[in-house]
Amino acid sequence: MHVQAPVVDRFREDVLAGLARVPKRVPPKYFYDERGSRLFEAICELPEYPITRVETALMQRHSEEMAACLGKDVWLIEYGSGNSRKSRLLLEALRPAVYMPIDISVEMLERTARELALRYPWLRIEAVWADYAEAWELPPVAAGARRVAYFPGSSIGNFDPEEARRFLASAARLVGAGGGMLIGIDLKRGVDRLTRAYDDPQGVTAQFNLNLLVRINRELQGDFVLERFRHVAFYNEARGRVEMHLQSITHQQVAVAGRRFGFFAGEAMHTENSYKYSVEEFEELARTAGFSPRRRWLAGEDPFAVLYLEA
Ligand code: AVJ
């Protein structure tokens, strides 16, 4: 396995810097420790969270067509592969020369690579442990092979539009002229449905959000008391994004890595943005990053799109 950006090294400095900011914030990539990755899988099963289901159905229905678009002798590079469940549909239809999953969670990456190796003995897997939002190097790709980036799950929604543009531009450079990108985008829809997807009645998303404090307590010697924070999620219509926060219920002091941070009652720590696009908005963004939109596959009832872009 290629180990690129030892993600743990940055956790401490990012959290300390984020807690010192006004308003406080911690980047959402830190949700995905072992327990966080499992909680995210549980979110994907919730009736209120349609993204994964709808995207999987799209992949099921159209994987042959997608594979035909992507072409032959493809090096498939997957950003944030997680459990790679959706990728299986694509892998089976595409039979790429190499599958290169990149993930921030090393446990998830190892488990997934092992499972895929058993399931697909014909598949060459080159796993990369890295934070895909940071600069990282692609292990050498055979000459003549076509590079296609796969970025499912609407994870690009975690970037604000300017970061998303920069990210797409770097992906366009990575795959090179003639390379491609297959990307899943969660689309704008009614406010109520959007909010419920991030504030489910079972409280799984709340646990996922609060797990960030569990992780800080464990890895950075924090003393957050979970009962003193609550999960808050809402759709910010003006900015076209769902926001998640951890709100302090009381006035309190918290220690992390030997430093103290004060929270006033009601103070919110921002933990995630999840931007929603229209297909047109997103394709325009992709164009400004150097991609040409080539194909769209749209879901009906719960708006979601898989787009094929060419560099
Ligand atoms: C993995 C970033 C696509 O924004 O919908 C799910 C993460 N956060 N519920 C999303 C998430 C809360 C998810 N992404």
| 180, amino acid identity | G
Query: Which pLDDT band holds residue 143 (cuts at 50, 70, 90)?
Result: confident
For residues 195 and 215, state if they share a domain.
yes
204 lines ligand 1 (CB under 6 A): no
37 lines ligand 1 (CB under 6 A): no
Q: Is the pTM of this model over 0.90?
A: yes
Question: In this model, does residue 114 exceed pLDDT 70?
Answer: yes
274 lines ligand 1 (CB under 6 A): yes
Predicted pLDDT at 281: 97
51 lines ligand 1 (CB under 6 A): yes
131 lines ligand 1 (CB under 6 A): no
Q: Is the dihedral of CA 49, 246, 202, 225 positive or negative?
A: positive
For residues 182 and 193, state if they share a domain.
no
Contact status, residue 305 vs residue 298, Cβ threshold 8 Å: yes
**Ligand 1 pocket mutation, candidates 272, 275, 306, criterion most atoms within 8 A of CB:** 272
Q: What are 217's two structure tokens? A: 């307590």
For residues 68 and 141, state if they share a domain.
yes
Environment class of 230 (CB within 10 Å of its CB; exposed 0-12, middle 13-18, buried 19+)? middle
For residues 255 and 158, state if they share a domain.
no
Q: How far is CA 25 from CA 19, 31, 157, 184, in A?
A: 6, 13, 17, 26
For residues 258 and 288, state if they share a domain.
no
Predicted pLDDT at 53: 94
Contact status, residue 151 vs residue 174, Cβ threshold 8 Å: no
Contact status, residue 174 vs residue 149, Cβ threshold 8 Å: yes
Query: Which pLDDT band holds residue 301 (cuts at 50, 70, 90)?
Result: confident
- For residue range 9-45, what is the model confidence (pLDDT) as tens digits? 689 999 999 999 999 999 999 998 889 989 999 999 9
Question: What is the rounded average pLDDT of the residues 142-158?
Answer: 91
Report the range of poorest mean pLDDT among 23-32, 283-292, 297-306.
297-306
Task: Quote the percentage of the chain above a pLDDT of 90.
Answer: 82
For residues 17 and 61, state if they share a domain.
no
The residue whose C-alpha atom lies closest to atom 13 belonging to ligand 1 is 155
How many angstroms does the Cα of residue 6 sit away from the middle of ligand 1?
A: 23
For residues 220 and 182, state if they share a domain.
no
What is the total count of domains within the chain?
Answer: 2
Question: Quick check: is 2 in a domain?
Answer: no
- For residue range 225-275, what is the model confidence (pLDDT) as tens digits? 999 999 999 999 999 999 999 999 999 999 999 999 999 999 999 999 999
Query: Which pLDDT band holds residue 130 (cuts at 50, 70, 90)?
Result: confident
Question: Quick check: is 298 in a domain?
Answer: yes
81 lines ligand 1 (CB under 6 A): no
What DSSP letter does each residue of 187-204 carry, written as one string?
BP--HHHHHHHTS-TT-H
Question: Quick check: is 3 in a domain?
Answer: no
Report ipTM (2 d.p.): 0.99
The domain in which residue 81 lies consists of 48-187+275-309
- Helix (H) or strand (E) segment spanning residue 57: helix 51-70
Question: In this model, does residue 134 exceed pLDDT 90?
Answer: no
Contact status, residue 151 vs residue 281, Cβ threshold 8 Å: no
For residues 266 and 283, state if they share a domain.
no
272 lines ligand 1 (CB under 6 A): yes
For residues 280 and 222, state if they share a domain.
no
The residue whose C-alpha atom lies closest to atom 14 belonging to ligand 1 is 155
What's the CATH code of the domain at 103?
A: 3.40.50.150
- For residue range 176-209, what is the model confidence (pLDDT) as tens digits? 999 999 999 999 999 999 999 999 999 999 999 9
- Assign 90 to helix, strand or coil: helix
For residues 219 and 178, state if they share a domain.
no
